[in-house]
Amino acid sequence: MNKNVTLVVMAAGMGSRYGGLKQIDPVGPCGEIIMDYSVYDAIEAGFNKVVFVIKPEIEEDLRKLIGDRIADKVQVAYVHQELTALPEGYTVPNGRTKPWGTGHAILCCKDVIYEPFAVINADDYYGKEAFSLIYESLANADQTASPAPFCMVGYRIANTLTENGYVARGVCETDESMHLTKITERTKIGRVNGQIAFTEDDGKTFVPVADDNTVSMNFWGFVPQIFDELGTRFTAFLDNPPADIKKAEYLLPFVVDELIKEHKATVEVKQTSEKWYGVTYQEDRADVAAAFAEMTDSKKYPKGLF
């Protein structure tokens, strides 16, 4: 069993739809942020290191809000995801201002992680069961195996929606052994007249999705082999960029999907019944705050956490 398992928290995105730094917006009854709950659950599950991927300008705030409070319980590191973190010989395209995407965020961690690790979004609540499931898988992962043994937590899509607009989800297909065979990014999924559906033409047409369809919430588990693949493919992404290089993103699910198709990795899907909570939109905040208040009242979490 691997004694060292790390949690990577991706917190570099600005949250354009939400309208601010939702990563550090208090939502718990004692001023907790969503990351507090994720880190608490991770430590409880057995994780012994946390890496925050951030923009440099929010490091001071993040240290005060969570990093300094957990430093006596778990090893903490900070990684800056900067536009200029590019392979040698490459420069930032004129007009590019947004981060390069989740694949680039994880690539930025290559010099601080040498053990199995999980990846989460800073602004999503994943649930206690999810952390226990992925920790067990990573703690027993063979880091030298080929194909590389990855994993992810899968959620019922009905448990991952907001009432306040569309969300982006990776719709998953699995084989009989619950290994991922394909993941398709749908950027606009929501409830339409009571039915879950996605649109790819700004609402002109909708394609129904079953309530129990498995989706990814960007809760991945990797061994360090992923870093070489991320580096090679990021260079290829820059050499053959999408049409709008000012906004195009190098996304982690796309890399995982490629590795599955090339038989370089397998991804075991750890199914959970947990309900997701997140603040995709400003209007979500009240619902999320009410959920954490209820979880505190029911003693699922202590007041204050740390």
Label residue 245 by pLDDT band (50, 70, 90): confident
The 10s digit of each residue's pLDDT in 9-20 is 998 864 444 445
pLDDT the model gives residue 13: 65
Residues 6+ positions from 220 with CB-CB distance below 8 Å: 118, 119, 150, 151, 152, 252, 256
The 10s digit of each residue's pLDDT in 177-190 is 999 999 988 989 99
Q: How far apart are the first and last CA of the chain?
A: 28
Whether the predicted pLDDT of 24 surpasses 90: no
The 10s digit of each residue's pLDDT in 60-79 is 888 888 899 999 999 999 99
Mean pLDDT (the chain) is 91
- Packing angle between helix 252-261 and helix 226-239, nearest 10 degrees? 110
The 10s digit of each residue's pLDDT in 224-241 is 999 999 999 999 999 988
CA angle centred on 114, ends 49 and 59, rounded to 5°: 50
Q: Which residue type, as a one-letter code, is found at position 117?
A: F
pLDDT the model gives residue 59: 86
CA angle centred on 74, ends 255 and 27, rounded to 5°: 75
Output the six-digit token pair for 174.
Answer: 């699995």
pLDDT the model gives residue 14: 44
The 10s digit of each residue's pLDDT in 95-152 is 998 889 999 999 999 999 999 999 999 889 999 999 999 999 999 999 999 999 999 9
Number of other CB atoms surrounding residue 213 within 10 Å: 18
**Torsion angle of the four alpha carbons 148, 149, 153, 155, in this order, in degrees rounded to the nearest 10:** 80
Whether 268 and 260 have beta carbons less than 8 Å apart is answered as: no
Q: Of 17, 223, 216, 268, which Cα lies nearest the Cα of 106?
A: 223
Scanning 93-208, the segments in alpha helix (DSSP H) are 102-107, 128-139
**On the CB side of 192, how many CA atoms lie within 13 Å of its CA?**
18
What is the three-class DSSP state of 80? strand
pTM beyond 0.85: the answer is yes
Strands (E) across the chain are located at 6-10, 49-54, 75-80, 117-121, 124-125, 148-156, 167-174, 180-192, 195-198, 207-208, 214-222, 265-272, 277-278
Name the residue with higher pLDDT: 230 or 164. 230
Label residue 92 by pLDDT band (50, 70, 90): very high
